Amino acid sequence: MVKLVLVNPQIPPNTGNIARTCAATGTELHLVGPLGFELGDRYLKRAGLDYWPYVDLHYHNSCEEFITHWRGQGGNLLGFSVTGTVNFWDYTYQSTDWLMMGSETDGLPQMMRDLSTQLLCIPMPHSEVRSLNLASSAAIALFEAGRQLRSLG
């Protein structure tokens, strides 16, 4: 199964929600600091309910630390961005892919955009909306990758 990476997430309930999705799908969750909250935050815990023990959670202090880890493991780094040039439906996922989401406030840092094998967008035909919610984007991306790879049953 693909892995999910959140770069500098800021809002605890979003990360808790994503953690629950990762627990349900058996997806590794990589958090790249600095985070906008403590890992012990009660809203983070509440949003993840009692599923945290089932989350395969990896924490990296910085983008540099994550990059070293990712390079050691290999696989394509797929940056998700509203300005991505490839529709996420049209990409052919591999089980070694890393699906990477940016922060709620700033999106993906330029360094991570530059390192991305591909920048993917989720279509938003109504242009009044600037972006989708982080947790919604992560779920949409994970389930499309899982659908293609037939890894979700």
Q: Which residues are annotated as a binding site?
A: 102, 122, 131
User: Residue for token digits 């996420």?
Assistant: 88
Q: How far apart are CA 71 and CA 67, in angstroms?
A: 6
108 touches ligand SAM by CB under 6 A: yes
Select the residue whose beta carbon is closest to ligand SAM and give its number: 107
Annotated binding site for S-adenosyl-L-methionine: 102, 122, 131
122 lines the binding site for ligand SAM (CB under 6 A): yes
| CB closer to ligand SAM out of 126 and 150 | 126
39 near ligand SAM, judged by CB under 6 A: no
| Residue in 84, 91, 97, 142 binding ligand SAM, rule: CB under 6 A | 84
Site membership for ligand SAM, residue 107 (CB under 6 A): yes
Q: Is 144 in the site for ligand SAM (CB under 6 A)?
A: no
Gap between the Cα atoms of 63 and 26, Å rounded: 24
DSSP string, 78-147: EEE-TT-SEETTTS---TT-EEEE-BTTTBS-HHHHHH-SEEEE----STT-----HHHHHHHHHHHHHH
